[in-house]
Every structure is written in C-alpha cells, then in structure tokens.
Amino acid sequence: MNTDKEIREKLLQYIIEATFTDEINDDTLLFEEGLFDSMGLLYLIDFIRDNFHIDIKDNELLLENFASVKSIVVFVNRKLKSQSTKKLVTCYK
C-alpha cells in the first residue's frame, strides 16, 4: 500500500527528472510556474497510471487535482481508497 510519503517521493522524483529542476516543494504550482504544460500533464497522467495503477477519467482532469504535488497526492490517495473500496464491495457480493 502506498503512503502519502511514498506517493509524494515518487511524484517529486518524477517531476524533478521531467522538469530538470530541484527547486520544488509540495505547494509549488506546477502549471502557473511553467514547470508543466498540456503535454507535460499527459506524461504526468501516464506516470500516475503506471505507478499507482489508477484510472483517471476525463472529468477528473481538473487543475485542482494536478496543481501541485500536494494536490496530486490528495487526488491519488482518494483514487486509491476508492478503488480499494470497490474491490472490497465486489469481493463480498
């Protein structure tokens, strides 16, 4: 299971490698500060899908979910919890 710290560390590592910057913290606004653009968002989504095994729907592609490392961690955790709840419900049917 992924903890907030593990999710955060994976995201930070990816963002540092993708943007060639190490001056980033949990509240850095990734799009407003020019670290990511629309193509960067697509790569970020692929990274999240591949590393956390979550499905991201079109209606979830909101700035509030991807604005900063902090908001992405919250989003990923919410999706992971939702998926684990669905698996439990399915198992008990």
**DSSP sequence for 22-52:** ----TT--TTTTTS--HHHHHHHHHHHHHHH
Confidence at residue 83, expressed as pLDDT on a 0 to 100 scale? 80
Task: Give the CATH number of domain 4-91.
Answer: 1.10.1200.10
AA identity, residue 12? L
For the chain, the distance separating the N- and C-terminal CA atoms, rounded to the nearest angstrom, is: 23
Confidence at residue 70, expressed as pLDDT on a 0 to 100 scale? 97
Confidence at residue 87, expressed as pLDDT on a 0 to 100 scale? 56
Question: Rounded to two decimals, what is the model's pTM?
Answer: 0.86
Enumerate residues 6+ apart whose C-beta is below 8 A from 60: 75
How far apart are the C-alpha atoms of 26 and 10, rounded to whole Å? 12
